[in-house]
Structure 1
């Protein structure tokens, strides 16, 4: 690091379909073999980028060594597909440590959400991002996730964060599946972030039901909860959306509904287990995969897709 801070050029990892991976755990240890299989399958399916250690990856339940090991294994298996590594933590010093570990392991970008036991103020959020960026040599994606963090970022705060040197992208909740609403949301965000976006900051959406509509409306990236566990159908959907063709995701509606009801981290882990890609239970306790009727609901949705 030479102390020079510039806004990085857009990376391929910040555009298209970014498949966020579960972190399989077995006997209270990260199952590196299962993680490698997930990366291999996602790369073979043609995802544009891979996300590890986000909400889907249960990062807040993993310690420093586990997080570093996850990034190393993902990079080893990625065959050049860019890796976006989550670095969120309760303390700024821990987030800086995770960010340094991630870039040393070969991550192409890091993803940071302002998490806190007590919701953070705007000044605290700005301080967190500024401090993490000060030691970073790869792009940082600002992660706006109010449901999990209880920090609801205004367009004004997002604009300030996006303008910080070193920020390469913004990941924000999606607009929903309606194309007209998606276009209005994309236009509104681009107008609100106009000071930063022309400098190369990309706009990405989370929330799988919103992803196709967001891409079709001109968003740069779809950060997908389920693409790491079920890459094939979602790669096809993302490509159709980016090409401007008709986007039909009705066949995925049961899985979207399961994520809404049970959370992405649980559904993604359950999909991986049902497909035989990891041995269950594969979540770090106290988290548990789905059981009973909820598990059968996901199994039926996979069977309908031909993805047993």
Structure 2
């Protein structure tokens, strides 16, 4: 399940509760498009803001609506005991994999992160995707740590959050990781604005925020990049540059949530309090940009 396009949908909320009809509709849209997997309750899905009960409910809804497409859900939490309970819930709900970022209030050491993944992976019956997201966790993985973790039980993929801006350095990093990780462990790229380059550089899967709302276009981009069609990839990705500008300014979550609200795909407001979608001039500017990106629909 850790290849191709893994689409990460929003979990729309109304007064702190999951807007279930909207959430199911988002999942069904991904299933209809034929994405390779669905990353329910990723960072885009606001997992960290939900209770254990809400996360279980959302996971069950996602698995049911996915029509057989593999579903991965996040089990991240500051408490390792809660991580284990969330893993059990996710597996009982029928997920095909789990996603884990090293979430912690106190900054973790490399040894502590290794111990976390060692404990969790040992008790899993489904594969785990390591989530390298220093922007939210504050922990920066070294490639040496990622390679070591890849040899633990039940590790299926590594979701990297950053690539070097220099093309040759990006190629070298992806190639080095792929040659050193355990056999069968894939390398995935997140951060939509850099994902086309990541796939051309050799990443096996795009963990995609854009794909959670616009799966058809995202599939076309992923297929072009993964087949190393550089011309088609460049064309499809360059067309998205007006959107990537907003990503760089505001982050992917607030932007894609605003887009979903503007399109009527989710209720407004849809983010967990106190997070807000774009307002004022930036919202108006994004709305105008969407008119230029009508090919996404």
TM-score when normalising by structure 1: 0.90
When residues 238 and 177 of structure 1 are mapped into structure 2, their CA distance, relative to the original with a 3 A threshold, is farther
- Is 1:22 aligned to 2:22, yes or no? no
SS of the residue corresponding to residue 119 of structure 2 reads helix
TM-score when normalising by structure 2: 0.93
In the alignment, which residue of structure 1 is the partner of 2:122?
Answer: 134
In the alignment, which residue of structure 2 is the partner of 1:10?
Answer: none
Q: Which residue, out of 260, 269, 277, partners 1:272?
A: 260
Q: Which residue, out of 221, 226, 229, partners 1:237?
A: 221
In the alignment, which residue of structure 1 is the partner of 2:103?
Answer: 115
Kindly provide the CA deviation profile for residues 76-103 of structure 1, in whole angstroms up to 9, marking residues without a partner as x: 1111111110110001011111111111
When residues 37 and 94 of structure 1 are mapped into structure 2, their CA distance, relative to the original with a 3 A threshold, is same
SS of the residue corresponding to residue 256 of structure 1 reads helix
Supply the distance in 1 between the matched residues of 2:166 and 2:208 (Cα, whole angstroms): 17
In the alignment, which residue of structure 2 is the partner of 1:219?
Answer: 203
Residue 66 of structure 1, CA deviation: 0.5
Supply the distance in 1 between the matched residues of 2:286 and 2:93 (Cα, whole angstroms): 34
Q: Which runs of 5+ in 2 are unaligned?
A: none
In the alignment, which residue of structure 2 is the partner of 1:33?
Answer: 21
Residue 174 of structure 1, CA deviation: 3.9
Residue 27 of structure 1, CA deviation: 2.4
Task: Flag the structure with higher helix content.
Answer: 2
SS of the residue corresponding to residue 77 of structure 2 reads coil
Kindly provide the CA deviation profile for residues 10-46 of structure 1, in whole angstroms up to 9, marking residues without a partner as x: xxx2001111111100122101110111111122223
When residues 156 and 256 of structure 1 are mapped into structure 2, their CA distance, relative to the original with a 3 A threshold, is same
Shifted more, 289-298 versus 179-188: the winner is: 179-188
In the alignment, which residue of structure 2 is the partner of 1:83?
Answer: 71
Kindly provide the CA deviation profile for residues 127-168 of structure 1, in whole angstroms up to 9, marking residues without a partner as x: 111221232100001111111111101111111111111111
Written as runs of structure 1 = structure 2, the 5 A alignment for 1:176-187 is: 180-187=168-175
1:176 and 1:213 in contact (8 A); partners too: no
Supply the distance in 2 between the matched residues of 1:93 and 1:20 (Cα, whole angstroms): 25
SS of the residue corresponding to residue 14 of structure 1 reads coil
Supply the distance in 1 between the matched residues of 2:206 and 2:52 (Cα, whole angstroms): 27
Q: Which runs of 5+ in 1 are unaligned?
A: 1-12
In the alignment, which residue of structure 2 is the partner of 1:3?
Answer: none
Shifted more, 28-37 versus 294-303: the winner is: 294-303
In the alignment, which residue of structure 1 is the partner of 2:143?
Answer: 155
Aligned CA RMSD, in angstroms, stands at: 1.6
Q: Which residue, out of 207, 227, 230, partners 2:191?
A: 207
